[in-house]
Structure formats: structure tokens, C-alpha cells
Structure 1
Amino acid sequence: MTVTRIGVETVLHCAADGPVLTGEQDALDIIGEAWGAQASAVVLPAERLDPSFFALSSGFLGAFVAKFVNYRMPLAVVGDISAHLERSEPLRALRRETNQGRQFWLLDTADEVAARF
């Protein structure tokens, strides 16, 4: 994990080679790490998330992201999720909607992260 400054945010960047995240406790653990690093936002590689995260019917995405929203910590999931998007119109719609917001984003590249902060 690394911490950088992007605009006004101190951002915790999670490593791509960490364990696969599978539940709400993982979200709380990352939030705790961010607090410990005095970070105010998190960038998480998409490949760290269990594939069920992208199946909206599983409820995993909603529960995971809700932890970040509740603790008012912006979360950017960054990486190629095109395979998931191809299979799910609801996920495409969610991505369009959330990428217009200020709390949670599904982004393709790290360059897009800087534009959000």
C-alpha cells in the first residue's frame, strides 16, 4: 500500500497483489488501514475484488461500498472490468450513475482517478 496526495485528498492506493477481497469485513479493514495512514480516500485495483462484487444480485458491491459511504471515505475501483460490463446492463447503468457522483467510482485507469479528486 502506498499513500499519495491527489488534489486535496490523501489517497491510500491498495496493492494489486494483495488477497482477494470477499466481504464487508475486508472493506472495514481497508478503511482502518486508510485511517491509520491518515488517508481520506482509497484506490482499489479491480482485480483484488472477488468476481461476485460485479454481480449486483450478490449484494456484495452494495454492502462493500456502503461501508465507505457510511465512513465518508471516497472509493475508486480501478481496472478493466469490461468482461463484467458486457454481461450486465445493471452494472453498466450503475457505473454510469456512480461515476457522476463524489463517493464511489468504477474507473478504467489510474489517470481517471486524478480527475475525481
Structure 2
Amino acid sequence: MKIKVVKRNNIDVAVVSSDKVLIRDTQSALDFITTVQYETGCNNIALNKEAISDDFFILSSCIAGEILQKFINYRVRFAIYGDFSKYTSNSLKAFMHESNKGNNVYFQSTVSLAINKLSMYDC
């Protein structure tokens, strides 16, 4: 896991990338949140899509909701960046679209767009 802190609009964003899956379930999400916060002090975290279990992107598994609720409960704004084109579920596309309209969770195609979203609001 590589972590880099980027400052944009006076807001620190922890940009995390990993070739290994870091988030599989709620416990691994909590471990991830606490590790990144401890190492960076950031409440804005961007993570590459490959570091999240594919089960997350199957909405019927309910894993996405459980994991994202942890980020919200711990007041961590979270962006997932990468190529989502392989996912064809209309429900998932709608979920991602609605998430991008909010202030807490974003799905973006590039790390730069993820950083931009996370640095728009100071929470």
C-alpha cells in the first residue's frame, strides 16, 4: 500500500494505491480507515478500484452499503478511482451516479478527478 498526501484548496487528501485487495468487508474497511488516518491525519481518502474486492461492486451482496456506512460513520470522505466500465449493472451505475451527487462518497475515473471531488468541501 502506497500513501501520498496531496493538498488541494487547502484540504489534505490521502491518495492510496495498492495492487492487493485492501477492502473486503467491514472489518478490513475499518482497519483501512484507521491506518490511513493514523499515518496521514486525513479524513479525505482516495483509493484505487483494484484495492477493493469485486464483491463490493455487486450491490445484491450488500457489502458496498455496509462498507460505505463505516466511512460515513467515521466522518471520512471517500473516493474510489479507476475504470468502472467492466461493470454493466444498471443498479450499480445508478448508485455510483447518485453517490457522485453527494458529499461523502465518489466514484471517479482518475485519481485527479477523485482528488478534485474530495477537495471541494471542507468537512
Query: Same fold per TM (> 0.5)?
Result: yes
Percent identical among aligned pairs is 28
Residue 19 of structure 1 is matched in structure 2 by: 21
User: What's the offset of the Cα at 1:17?
Assistant: 2.0
Q: 8 Å contact 1:34–1:41 — kept in the other structure?
A: no
- Call closer, same or farther: CA 1:93–1:79 in 2, change over 3 Å: same
Whole-angstrom distance in 2 between the partners of 1:99 and 1:17: 25
1:6 alignment partner AA = R
What does residue range 1-117 of structure 1 map to in structure 2 within 5 Å? 1-36=3-38, 37-84=40-87, 86=88, 88-116=89-117, 117=119
Equivalent residues, number: 115
User: What's the offset of the Cα at 1:4?
Assistant: 1.9
Q: 8 Å contact 2:19–2:51 — kept in the other structure?
A: yes
Unaligned runs of 5+ in 2: none
Which stretches of structure 1, 4 residues or longer, exceed 6 Å deviation after superposition?
none
Unaligned runs of 5+ in 1: none
| Cα offsets for 1:1-36 (capped at 9, x unmatched) | 222212232212212223342111111112112321
